[in-house]
Chains A and B, each alone.
Chain A
Amino acid sequence: MSRLLKGKVLGIGLVMPSFLTLLVLVAYPVMMSVRTSLQNRAGEWSWDNYRYIFTEPLISQNIRHTMFVTIISCFFVLIIAYGIALYLRFSTRFFSKLINKLYLIPMFIPGVIAVYGFINFYRNNGWVARLIGTDNMLPIIYHVRGLIMINVWFNIPFTTMLLLSALQGIPNSIIEGARDVGATKWQLFIRFILPLSYKTMLVAITFLFMGIIGSFTAPFLIDRNAPQMLGVSMQQHFSVFNEIGQSSSLAVFMFLLSSAVGCFYIWSNMKHSKKELS
């Protein structure tokens, strides 16, 4: 029994250094932010800030816009990353090998630089416009299209990596077994590959959602001025309008949204591991 107890104490002891760091550097400031969000300008407790963010039409628009961009971006990232992962998993062609070597690179490019390069590439007088002619060019920069594109650019490597590992985890004999009984490529995908990798997709969605919903640099430099992504709006309330409380309440709101998705992920993971146990 004492060995068990020792194990428990040791476990908690080992977690403490990083957990305390987390507590001090993140959890405590989070609590402070939550507190600020619950105080009005006079420093009294009140729901004013939340009332504001839920009644101000501008913020409602921003919330809708943020959800739109986040969901659409997640959608495209998933689709494209899934496509690339499938290609890398099942093709042994020359291009697949090359892409396999290249696809991680964007993950290593500092975010500011990527946005900068992106703007220069796609702006109305940018290189693409010069190559194909301005008239043939759809507006990309200062357009939600551009924002979604850069989100795709940023998130494809990470997502592809996750999905690829899930696909590589599907044994060949499962695929071949399915072909053997007569499944077409499409049926193979719908009935086997998809069901056997959707859990990893949930993981991917969680991280995509969290990353995109809180983003600042890309929407600030690429999106239209209104409606804004919540990250930009929060920054504006904080440093332009001097509305610290309102900006905190926006942060808390974004946190709750992300947490909801995070809990979904945790829940699906738990379900998964329970099934494995049985």
Chain B
Amino acid sequence: MWFIKLIGKLKFTGFVCFFIFVIFFFGPLLNLLLLAFSGEWQYPDRLPSEWSLTWWTFVLQNDAIISSIWLSFLIATIVTLISLLICIPAAYAFARIQFPLRRFFLFSFLLTNAFPKMGLYVSIAVLFYQLNLMNTFVGIVLIHLINTLMYMTWIPSAAFENVHRSQEESARDVGASPLKVFWHITLPMAKPGIIVASVFTFLSSLNEAEGTFLVGIPDYRTMPVIMYSIIADYPSTAGSVFSVILTLPTILLLVAARKFVGAESFANGFKLK
């Protein structure tokens, strides 16, 4: 009875929308979670008839999998740092400096993003052989950079634009050189936007499989690379365990970044000027 009352109170339509929303977006994930702990779940049982941790022990004892997680995070961290390093200057320039071909540069990031990545990998591999980058860490980092250049220039650029000029000028006024102004004032104030872009960079690096595979095999196997093969080779219970394990870190990342990742700081990046 209390349930009916509660629903009445909370407005029926809102409840229905919420219900559909949750089922649609989280049903598949919940299913994975159940599968990961199920021992036997024969058709047409609605719930597993037997629970088990078999695949968990299998996965957690597999060094290749554990080390792939570490590797993925290491790569993602480095990719994020490097793309910060090379993209932040451009983001700043787009936001603050009027220079010839500014728009051309800005849009070139969008348009190159439009070429299907899969169509590029052979050409990239040829290039990487010439540069001796195959099967190197540097090679992987570069491959991952392809996906992040656009977000890493656009979003921070908007963040820089939102720093009020008088705040920079007052800093120069009190005696800070342009570099010091950038370091102590502009950069910290644009931090939320930069963090959002970094989170996206980090995620896209964690997700990258095809390019990593091409360049990284044999020595560098990241978690999505392993995941692909697991989907092909193991029954769904095992795949689910992997899924849960591989999803956890990104969810943690979301929680950590929650403060910054919101509609406001993000969407500005797509309003070009």
Is there direct touching of A and B in the complex, by C-beta distance under 8 Å? yes
Q: Is the CB of A110 within 8 A of B149?
A: no
Residue of B nearest to A93 (CB): B14
Known pairs A7-B98, A165-B266; A110 contacts B227 (CB<8 A): yes
Distance from A211 Cβ to chain B, minimum over Cβ atoms (Å): 10
Which residues in window 79-127 of B have CB below 8 A to A? Answer: 85-87, 89-90, 92-94, 97-102, 105, 107-120, 122-124, 126-127
Of chain A, the residue at the smallest CB distance from B211 is A25
Interchain CB contact under 8 A, A26 and B115: yes
- Contact between chains at A120 and B31 (CB < 8 Å): yes
CB of A182 closer than 8 Å to a CB of B: no
Q: Is A161 in contact with B267, judged by CB distance below 8 angstroms?
A: yes
Name which of A28-36, A52-60, A185-193 contacts chain B.
A28-36
Report which of B34, B153, B263 forms a contact with A165, defined as CB distance below 8 A: B263
CB-contact partner of A17 in B35, B90, B243, under 8 A? B90
B193 to chain A, nearest CB (A): 12
Q: Are A18 and B87 in contact (CB under 8 A)?
A: yes
A112 touches B99 (CB 8 A): no
Is B270's CB under 8 angstroms from A111's CB? Answer: no
Known A19-B105, A32-B123, A161-B263: A108·B250 in contact at CB below 8 Å? yes
- Whether A25 pairs with B93 at a CB distance below 8 angstroms is no
Interface string of A266-277 (1 = CB under 8 A from B): 100100010000
Q: List 5 A-B contacts (CB under 8 A).
A: A11-B99, A94-B10, A94-B14, A113-B243, A168-B264
Q: Compute how far the CA of A33 lies from the CA of B224 in the bound complex, rounded to whole angstroms.
A: 26
Is the CB–CB distance between A12 and B100 below 8 Å?
yes
Interface residue? B198 (CB, 8 A): no
How distant is B127 from chain A, measured CB to nearest CB, in Å? 7
Q: Return the CB mask of B161-187 against A: 1 if under 8 Å, else 0.
A: 000000000000000000000000000
Give B contacts to A, CB under 8 Å: 10-11, 14-15, 17-18, 21-22, 24-29, 31-32, 34-35, 43-46, 85-87, 89-90, 92-94, 97-102, 105, 107-120, 122-124, 126-127, 142-143, 145-146, 149, 152-153, 203, 206-207, 209, 224, 227-228, 231, 236, 239-240, 243, 246-247, 250-251, 253-254, 261-264, 266-268, 270-273
Q: A17 contacts B253, CB within 8 Å?
A: no
Q: Is the interface of B mostly helix, strand, loop or mixed?
A: helix
Q: Is the CB of A183 closer than 8 A to any CB of chain B?
A: no
Q: Chain A contacts of B107 at CB under 8 A?
A: 262, 266
B25 touches A168 (CB 8 A): no
Contact A214 B117, beta carbon cutoff 8 Å: yes
- Residues of B with C-beta under 8 A to A77: none
CA gap between A11 and B105 in the complex, in Å:
11
B18 partner residues in chain A, CB cutoff 8 A: 95, 98-99
Residue of B nearest to A266 (CB): B107
Binds B, one of A41-49, A122-130, A173-181: A122-130
Question: B119–A234 contact, CB under 8 A?
Answer: yes
Q: Known pairs A15-B90, A21-B149; list 19 more (Cβ under 8 Å).
A: A15-B94, A17-B87, A17-B90, A19-B105, A26-B112, A29-B124, A107-B203, A108-B250, A108-B253, A113-B243, A116-B239, A127-B27, A128-B27, A129-B44, A134-B44, A162-B266, A216-B118, A262-B114, A269-B272
Are A251 and B109 within 8 A (Cβ)?
no
Residue A227 is within 8 A (CB to CB) of chain B in the complex? no
Residue of A nearest to B206 (CB): A110
